Chain A
Amino acid sequence: MRRSLVLTGTAVTVLGLLAGCSAGGSGSDSGRTTLKVAALEGGYGRDMYTQVIKAYEASHPDIDVQLQISKSIEDEITPNMKAGRYPDVVVLGQGRKAALTETLVKDKALEDLTPVLKERIPGEDTTVGDKLTEGIVGNLNTNPYGTDQTYLMPMYYAPTGLFYNKGLFEEKGWKVPGTWDEMFALGDTAKKQGIPLFTYPTAGYLDSYFFALLADVGGERFYTDVMTYKKDVWKTANARKALDITTELLGHAAPATVGYANEQDFTKNQQLVLDDKALFMPNGTWIVGEMAEAPRADGFQWGLTPLPAVTTGGKRYITTSVESVWVPTAAQNKDAAKEFIAYLYSDEAAKIFAKSNAIQPVEGIAGSLSAENVEFYKVYEDPSVAALVGGFASTAPVEGVDIKATLFDTANSIISGDTTEDRWRAALNEASEKLRQAGG
């Protein structure tokens, strides 16, 4: 009697454990399709997603959209993905620490979304491709293998560049520098008044700086060469020029920068700009919301400028950060997913997104910008300024080689004098070469 009780108890325990591990059943019963959408809860918040989904479900009664949203969405969907349960649509950009998007790109595990560009937006007459701003697809960010196939659809875009205190410039009568010579001259002037020229939150924020600088120095051709690891590209004169400018700029960095350039303290570097203790920092438009509560100097006003031109009148690029939406190859409802993505570019959805300051790269979005954003997105109107999208091309993973870390993090060592520009260049060349071999 007792033994059978024990056995029953054991069985119940084991079953309980197993059941706990295998929770979550299949969806699509009763003819309705369940579309699983996973999204990163970024600076724009989560309300806009629930609203867009509500609007979509209203016009598509046969589809039931399940939203999973979190600030660390990778940690939540990865275990299920490894177990074979993939979300159908994922809104998640590149450059995150967990690098889920990058990993799937390297694995070639993303669905080809080129057909979506030709698809008509539900309830409208235009196709997705026509509605998207020109030049926003077809770069390494959306076509990661450098082909004509689009795997990542651009979701929101935001200019990144050098942020500064407009009020301080007006008060001192300084002009925002248009060339690097003017920039360094301003650096000397400001230094006499005890204000360092430059700081960065963490070295990782230098991505927006470097991509634009490389294009400024050698044009888009050179930029693409660097991003696709062309042989010996870091030995060229252009590369040397870019690193020369950077090294000189880092020589003007606020002395506190490196000590605060970690995840715990990076806001203290951002605070330097608010307190007029540093003039410029590379950042994105989210900075306004991020530092909204922080104390600031009198008359402080955010300003955004592209990097100064290398030569007078030279073309200036502005690195544009683009969040992506994509579909895993292993997703169950790929067709429904593609239709949903097409809907995300409808006027109806774009308006909801824009209300949360998430600006989509679609025609006619300018009308729904907030006053603050109008100021920032104005940088694109300057005819000498061009948007630059992309990042390093994807290769098969190379063990121990992370070229972004080599390019950005070394800035800390340059400021503190622990390494030299030549050693930096050599390390970049080595990393680039290893990735080139892996990519070929």
Chain B
Amino acid sequence: MTTLSTPPPGSTNRTSASSDASDVFEASKQAPSAASSRRGVARVPVRRRGDTRFVLACLLPALVLFAVFMAVPTVNVFRMSLYTWSGFSPDMRFVGLDNFRRLFDDDQFVRAFQNTVALLVVVTVVTMGMGLFLAAIMTRQRLRGRNLYRFVLYIPNVLSVVVIAATFSAVYDQENGLLNGALRLLSLDGLQQVWLGNQKVVLYSVAIAMLWQSLGYYMVLYMASMSSVPEELYEASALDGASAARQFFAITLPLIWQSLSTTLTFFIMSAVNLSFVLVRAMTGGGPDGSSEVLLSYMYKQAYTNSSYGYGMAIGVVIFAFSFLVSLLVSRATRREPLQF
């Protein structure tokens, strides 16, 4: 790239115009003389076309990768959901919407769906609520040692799922686990549970692990957006006698609304995946399918039960479901962005 030493306005000596687009732009703006502007106008379209090609060439590898690894498989999921196929054999049988029809009669699928929805609702509400609350406390209350808290709360996010599963296996252990041990110490023996064995409790045990894993990440995100809210607003409202809670709802929340609604959409999509990996590592969907979620059921059907097409039909349901929920959430949380 040739450097452009700012020429005096009105200069006609622009023959050394470089091949760079910004130079041309500069040149046409700064050199209104007839000769140079004609040159500029004449060369711009040529260069634009060259640039487009260059940009396309740069994009090509990414586009190819995207097509091969994202677009084609996604289309394939939809296509395969209309077939009966074991996953290997050359004989695929087209069955139309039979796989979907069968889904509604499948009690295990219905249960997996219910579990997924329950996890999504509970974990989303609690994670978002706690994340906001903790972020507000840490940014507004000038808590002592808040860097340490932030660090501690963030750590679970970088742990691998296997480590989390092992950690929670130690926490939930029914005999000498952390949780039941603490309850015994507090003489609350009646509250002790077989956390991963009781079919009514196991889903919430998984939910707590999910919460623990993701809370820190969203808290840090909210802290970042809260710290950009101007201090004057808080000072002014404090002079008017607003309490901390009032400040939170009247200033903080509206001003970070944009990032709240974005993270919400992200979270819903990632929670579907996270619930799968955690369930697989912690309970394997058990006991007796009581903690099965959609993705783990899809895996079991597509591979263990050799019903690949049926598994893909479940995949389509998951796709449609998370798409719909994200859409609804982003619609429901849409507001006029506030400026500060």
A residues whose Cβ falls under 8 Å from a Cβ of B: 3, 6-7, 9-10, 13-14, 17, 81-82, 97-99, 102-104, 106-109, 202-203, 255-265, 268, 397-402, 405, 409-413, 416, 418-419
Contact = CB atoms under 8 A, between A and B. Distances in A.
Contact of B197 (A7, A103, A260): A260
Interface string B165-176: 110010001110
B287 A261 contact: yes
A412 B53 contact: no
Interface string B65-90: 10000000000000000001011110
Contact of B284 (A260, A263, A402): A263
Contacts of B309: 399
Interface of B: 50, 53-54, 57-58, 60-61, 64-65, 84, 86-89, 99, 102-103, 105-106, 108-109, 165-166, 169, 173-175, 194-199, 281-284, 286-290, 300-301, 303-307, 309-310
A409 B305 contact: no
A409 B196 contact: no
B310 A400 contact: yes
A59 B305 CA distance: 41
A3 B53 contact: yes
A3 B103 CA distance: 54
B87 A103 contact: yes
A99 B308 CA distance: 12
B169 to A, nearest CB: 5
Contacts of A411: 288
Nearest to B166: A264
Nearest to B305: A402
Candidate in B65, B102, B284 with the most chain A CB atoms within 10 angstroms: B284
Given A98-B304, A99-B305, A400-B106, A109 B199 contact: no
Contact of A14 (B53, B60, B287): B60
B61 A13 contact: yes
A405 B53 contact: no
Contacts of A261: 197, 286-287
A397 B86 contact: yes
Given A7-B57, A399-B310, A418 B199 contact: yes
A416 B202 CA distance: 13
A98 B109 CA distance: 20
B109 A400 contact: yes
Contacts of B195: 259
Shortest Cβ-Cβ A-B pairs, 8 listed: A259-B197, A412-B287, A107-B89, A399-B310, A258-B197, A259-B194, A400-B106, A397-B306
A417 to B, nearest CB: 10
A263 B109 CA distance: 22
Given A264-B165, A400-B102, A104 B307 contact: no
Contact of B304 (A81, A99, A107): A99
Contacts of A102: 306
Nearest to B102: A399
B54 A409 contact: no
Contact of A99 (B194, B290, B303): B303
A413 B288 contact: yes
A416 B305 contact: no
A318 B281 CA distance: 32
Contacts of B169: 264-265
Contacts of B173: 265, 268
B281 A413 contact: no
A409 B61 contact: no
Contact of B306 (A10, A99, A264): A99
A62 B284 CA distance: 47
A17 B310 CA distance: 32
Candidate in B195, B283, B303 with the most chain A CB atoms within 10 angstroms: B303
Contacts of A106: 86, 306
Candidate in B84, B283, B287 with the most chain A CB atoms within 10 angstroms: B287
Contacts of B301: 399-400
A355 B54 CA distance: 64
A3 B46 CA distance: 14
A260 B195 CA distance: 10
Given A108-B89, A416-B199, 18 more contacts: A3-B53, A9-B57, A10-B60, A13-B61, A106-B86, A202-B284, A258-B194, A262-B284, A262-B286, A264-B169, A268-B173, A397-B305, A397-B307, A399-B307, A399-B310, A400-B105, A402-B304, A410-B288
B86 A107 contact: yes
A17 B197 contact: no
Contacts of A17: 61, 64-65
Contacts of B50: 3
Contacts of A9: 57
